[in-house]
Amino acid sequence: SKIYCRPTLNDLERLRTLINMLASDLAMSVAHSGHLYAMALASSSLSPAAHLSEQFSGLSQVCILQ
């Protein structure tokens, strides 16, 4: 539980590795859940809430991390 209470972010190589792992996991999820990403992207223009949801957890987020 120490990692959650007092994270140490001074190990840049470890932080880089974690971010790359997250980006890889997100990229691989596109193949598995592509239709969900497509629906979220298509509906993002319908409301501000849908736009924010797509920005933070949709295909836009996957593209940013790549």
pLDDT value of residue 64: 65
| Residue 48 confidence (pLDDT) | 94
The pLDDT of residue 47: 94
pLDDT at 1: 45
| Residue with the larger pLDDT of the pair 3 and 47 | 47
Per-residue pLDDT reduced to its tens digit, 24-63: 887 787 777 888 888 898 999 999 999 998 888 888 877 7
Classify the C-alpha dihedral 40-26-62-55 as positive or negative: positive
Structure tokens at 57: 């957890």
